[in-house]
């Protein structure tokens, strides 16, 4: 319970990577504000389940992070209802693939809004309270695509490179305020969404899931192993701990060697 008494806000935390991070923070003793889209009854069951399992306070806010006023609102709600905001995890993200010259303008705007601008606004509104308390941890979930590119992902790659840059700037600015700012850059993560894609590919190609896993991984990663939401959760807990108090402004790769090549 190394984070007992701390309060965390995790965006995009009703499923996948964000949920894995929220669970890890709750398990470490932090109170958690969840955020994301989904069925209201399912989200309430998730919220209540986390609170009961880990004996922490868990709240939910469905803020639309593409709207700056709603980002400001969820930070304010966290501080008002949970008493403070110590750990901000900017995780929410969306994706779309197409060549640059065919990329829909609306998709560009949406991806930049959710994957990059929401990170800026989250930091902007969270930092004043962290400065006042002389303690804060901001962890931005970037991507291997924050460091290298792949075709047909212009908006995602641009946004994630922007997240890495914004992380460095913020880290420098608050370096002596008791606040660290870091980015985690995952490669392939085995979320329920990716698992479904693997299942579909196996069915379509007449193969099995293990074959499709290997094919997907070896396109990019020397290590033929997925990261998991639990891996990312453990990294977030470490970055929020006292052991990581001098790690700041750093993009931390969890990518099976993807960007080492």
Residues marked active site are found at 156
Q: Report yes or no: 230 and 28 within 8 Å, Cβ to Cβ.
A: no
Strands 58-61 and 87-90: unpaired
CB 89 within 8 A of CB 21: yes
- Cα 76 to Cα 125: distance, rounded to the nearest angstrom: 8
Is the Cα dihedral 197, 202, 205, 210 positive or negative? Answer: positive
Please list the alpha-helical segments (H only) found in the chain.
Answer: 16-27, 40-54, 68-82, 105-112, 118-133, 154-173, 192-205, 209-218, 229-240
Angle at 67 between CA 61 and CA 72, to 5 degrees: 60
Q: Which long-range contacts (CB under 8 A, 24 or more apart) does 242-246 make?
A: 244/180, 244/182, 245/180, 246/180
| Token pair listed for 8 | 């965390």
The angle that helices 16-27 and 229-240 make with each other, rounded to 10 degrees, is 50
Unique residue bearing structure tokens 């069951």: 45
């Amino acid at each position: 319970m190394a984070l007992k008494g701390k309060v965390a806000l995790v965006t995009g935390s009703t499923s996948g990577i964000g949920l894995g991070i929220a669970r890890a923070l709750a398990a470490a003793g932090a109170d958690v504000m969840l955020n994301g889209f989904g069925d209201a009854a399912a989200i309430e069951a998730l919220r209540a389940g986390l609170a009961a399992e880990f004996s922490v306070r868990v709240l939910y806010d469905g803020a639309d992070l593409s709207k700056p006023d709603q980002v400001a609102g969820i930070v304010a709600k966290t501080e008002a209802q949970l008493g403070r905001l110590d750990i901000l995890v900017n995780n929410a993200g969306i994706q779309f693939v197409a060549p640059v010259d065919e990329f829909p303008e609306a998709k560009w705007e949406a991806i930049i809004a959710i994957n990059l601008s929401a990170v800026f606004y989250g930091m902007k509104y969270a930092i004043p309270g962290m400065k006042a308390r002389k303690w804060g941890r901001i962890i931005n979930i970037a991507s291997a695509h924050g460091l290298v590119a792949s075709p047909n992902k212009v908006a995602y790659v641009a946004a994630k490179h922007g997240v890495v840059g914004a992380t460095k700037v913020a880290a420098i600015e608050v370096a002596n305020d008791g606040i660290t700012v870091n980015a985690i850059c995952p490669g392939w993560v085995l979320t329920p969404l990716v698992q479904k894609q693997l299942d579909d590919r196996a069915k379509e190609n007449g193969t099995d899931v293990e074959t499709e896993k290997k094919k997907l991984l070896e396109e990019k990663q020397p290590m033929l192993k997925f990261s998991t939401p639990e891996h990312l959760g453990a990294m977030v807990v470490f970055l929020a701990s006292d052991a990581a108090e001098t790690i700041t402004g750093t993009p931390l790769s969890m990518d099976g060697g993807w960007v080492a090549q």
